[in-house]
Structure 1
Amino acid sequence: MKIAFDGKRFFNNSSGLGNYSRDLVRILATYYPENKFVLFNKNKSEKGTDILKLPNVSFVETSKGNFSRQLLMGKDAQQIDADIFHGLSGELPLKWNDKPIKKVVTIHDLIFLRFPKYYSFLDRKIYFWKFKKAAEQADLIIAISEQTKRDIIQFLKVPESKIKVIYQGCHQAFKEDQTEEFLSSVKEKHNLPVRFILNVGTIEERKNLLSIVKAINGTEIPLVVIGKKTKYFKKVQKYLAKNKLVDQVQFLENVSMEELAAIYKLADIFIYPSIFEGFGIPVIEALFSKTAVITSNLSCLPEAGGENSVYINPHNFEDVKAKILFLWNNKSERNRRAEKGFEFVQKFNDENIASQIMSVYRSLL
């Protein structure tokens, strides 16, 4: 079987959709070496070079021209006799020839429809058109959570029978045992507190960092935050300064994947009070790291967190504070939930996800 992928996110995105694309190609190529996996894009980058070294993974440069991704990539995939084309980020090429090829698209979320205030009018219109068109063209849609599946049915008017839920996993780094020496070196390099709670994710309104900051006000609990800053950061910064919390909250940048995995392990608690997610990979990363999780009781986050994570109302910082203090002051409870969470998260391991994706491909052929 030969599977072609839209490689734009694989090569161009450092996190999110890029991680999903690289992980999916890596695990498929590893567990199903008898198949060929071909990435299409205008150019390669440093991202994913280790995956391109696998003997059954190759790169094809898309035909040149304006809108080549939309107009030529599909035909290029047909030209190499690909059996399946998989759009990894909610899009499919618009043009195809008569050669038979099955089309799969992964839709991660429809946040631009659920929370339109975070997007411009033009972006919303473009995204909706692209996603709607891809959903119509696809022989099968992969939704990364039950929440996303419900949204696809509601907003894109797609029949349920056309959608398969296959959860995401996370980067291999979070599943590896790191040495005490490496953990100590990361702690020293980033000058981390002896104990701390951790938040990972883009610093934007939807991720709701301000609720955590308000929750630790009046405590001495250190917070470490890792994520790209947006204009919302200024709002958080203003609250920190006003409430003399600047020294209690540490923002880290330029953290490698291996260092990030170590920091998850070093944290006492991982907290993720997001208002809405397509899935919530940081929750999975924390569970694989054997770190107790506090997350929102909204959208898909209970799907990612399982029954042994602690759930909060993200709009109520008093609830957030109570749950933080509950775990912070109870080591045995943290350990119990971390162990149970680690058992639960095995459903998101590489082999399970690769098997489900391959079953989808085979069902189409």
Structure 2
Amino acid sequence: MKIGFDAKRAFFNNSGLGNYSRSTIELLTKFYPYHNYVLYTPSTDGAIKFNIPKKVEIYEPQKLLSKVFKSYWRTFRITKKIKEHNLDVYHGLSGELPNKAHLKTNTKLIVTIHDLIFIRYPELYKPVDRKIYYQKAKYSCDIADRVIAISEQTKSDIIQFLNVDENKIDVVYQGCNNLFHKEVETTKKIEVAQKYNLPEKYILNVGTVEKRKNALSILKAIKFGNIDIPLIIVGRETEYQKELQKYALENNLEDKLIVLNNVPLEDLPAIYQQALMFVYPSVFEGFGIPILEAMYSKIPVITTKGGVFSETGGHSSIYVEVDNIEKLSKAIINIYEDDDLRQKIINDGIEFVQKFNDDKIASNLMNVYLK
């Protein structure tokens, strides 16, 4: 087969959509090297480097107009190239497909929808952005031959909010970077601990520092239970970070809050593996990759009850209702004080995450392409 990908996010996005795009391309080219692959990107100048076999073709626009108006090229001009390149499959990795690709090509069209948070929580987005996101998602699902949802939660949302036939949707879970699958060497752990001045024991939270991630509830739980363990948050800085710091200052918790921005990926596994526990009280997620990263890192997880979280956290994690501060505080204390409980959660988590291993994800993706 000849398979094409919308690879813009793979080359230029450091967060969720970019990680998913890079992982999908790397897995399929690794486990199915006998297929031909084409990556479509508006540019490669300043692109993120990742593992791409030499035989994989990278296509960039050739005409000046398309180079200048990159979004226009992705939406309207790629269709012509899909036809010229005679693709068997074209996969929109970040929720969109090119305009009229279903009419002007014979290529099987696949689109991955990660979440519909912009519909569930419209207050988090500008009206114009909500409109654009909705139009792209709805149109892409309508013209796609198959729609990939990254969780059962996302599948349910696609059916409810975009009115897509459930028989057209395949749930294919994500994995996490292989760096989290391996035990970090002691020397690296020491190096990272010194670099970031990590305390001996700490609670960890990873993700964009924004209101939806609900990290404030962790600080409130620390205060409620008078817990003498600091919280380390790793993520991109936003205005919400100031809200956390203000709360810490007003409640004499300055020494209990450490925020690390712009941490490179290669340092993250060592930070995970030295944590006492991972606490992720997010209000809503499409999947929740940091939960997987924590379980692969062999640390216990406390996360939100309901939604997608039980899909990602399995039977091993501890689940707490959003903003139930007392219960969250007790869960943190229980893991801290009960070594047997902590080890059981870790062992069960290691067993559960095997379903997210690379070979299984690659196989599930290829099965969608072959439908």
Shared fold, TM over 0.5? yes
CA distance in 1, matches of 2:40, 2:88: 14
Report the secondary structure of 1:49's partner residue: coil
Q: Deviations over 1:1-26 (max 9, x none)?
A: 11111111111110100000000100
Q: Would you say 1:31 and 2:31 are equivalent positions?
A: yes
Amino acid in structure 2 at the alignment position of 1:194: E
Q: How does 1:218-257 map to 2 (within 5 A)?
A: 218-257=226-265
2:95 is the alignment partner of 1:87:
no
Matching of residues 106-125 of structure 1 within 5 Å: 106-125=112-131
In structure 2, runs of 5+ residues without a counterpart are: none
> In the TM superposition, what is the alpha-carbon distance from 1:38 to its structure 2 partner?
1.3
CA distance in 2, matches of 1:62, 1:105: 22
In structure 2, the partner of 1:343 is 351
Structure 1 residue 249: deviation in Å? 1.1
Q: Does residue 1:211 correspond to 2:234, yes or no?
A: no
Give the AA of the match of 1:14: N
2-structure distance, mates of 1:80, 1:287: 41
Q: Which moved more, 1:165-174 or 1:254-263?
A: 254-263
CA deviation after TM superposition for structure 1 residue 47, in Å: 4.9
Q: Distance in 2 between matches of 1:46 and 1:180?
A: 33
**d(CA) in 1 for partners of 2:153 and 2:262?**
32
Secondary structure at 2:370 match in 1 = helix
Q: Counterpart of 1:300?
A: 308
Counterpart of 1:70?
Answer: 75
The 5-angstrom pairing of residues 121-132 of structure 1 reads 121-132=127-138
- Given candidates 129, 148, 152, the residue that maps to 2:154 is 148
Shift of 1:55: 3.2
What are the ranges of 5 or more consecutive residues in structure 1 without an aligned counterpart? none
- Cα displacement (A) at 1:244: 1.3
**How far off its partner does 1:330 sit?**
1.4
2:304 matches 1:328: no
Aligned length: 362
The verdict on how the C-alpha distance between 1:201 and 1:8 changes in structure 2, with shifts beyond 3 A counting, is same
Counterpart-to-counterpart distance in 1, 2:5 and 2:154: 21
Distance across 2 between alignment mates of 1:60 and 1:74: 13
User: What is the percentage of aligned positions where both structures have the same residue?
Assistant: 46
Normalized against structure 2, the TM-score is what?
0.95
SS at match of 2:90: strand
Q: Cα offset for 1:48?
A: 4.7
Correspondence 1:158 to 2:157: no
Aligned to 1:15: 15
- Distance in 1 (CA, whole Å) between partners of 2:288 and 2:47 is 22
SS of corresponding position for 2:50: helix
Tell me, in whole angstroms, the C-alpha distance in 1 between the residues paired with 2:247 and 2:208.
18
Matches of 2:244 and 2:50 in 1, distance apart? 38
Superposed CA RMSD in Å reads: 1.3
Partners of 2:349 and 2:234 in 1: CA distance:
22
Q: How many Å separate the matches in 2 of 1:265 and 1:184?
A: 11
Specify which of 285, 296, 299 is matched with residue 288 of structure 1.
296
117-126 or 299-308, which moves further after superposition? 117-126
Distance, in Å, in 2 between the alignment partners of 1:85 and 1:63 is 20
Tell me by how many angstroms 1:58 deviates.
2.4
2:300–2:345: 8 Å Cα contact kept in structure 1?
Answer: yes
Equivalence for 2:198: 192
- TM-superposed CA distance for 1:42, in Å, is 1.1
Residues 276-317 of structure 1 show CA distances to partners (whole Å, capped at 9, x for unaligned) of: 000000001111111110000121011000001011112211
Q: Deviations over 1:71-101 (max 9, x none)?
A: 0112212211111110001100003364410
**CA–CA distance in 1 between the matches of 2:249 and 2:105?**
62
Counterpart CA distance in 2 for 1:353 and 1:48 is 23
Counterpart residue number, 1:58: 57
Deviates more, 1:157-166 or 1:184-193: 184-193
Q: In 2, distance between residues paired with 1:58 and 1:299?
A: 39
Contact between 1:29 and 1:56, CA under 8 Å: does it hold in 2?
no
TM superposition shift of 1:49: 2.6
Q: Alpha-carbon deviation of 1:172?
A: 1.1
Give a deviation string over 1:171-213, Cα, whole Å, max 9, x none: 1110122211111111111110111110001111100010001
Match of 2:323 among 272, 291, 315: 315
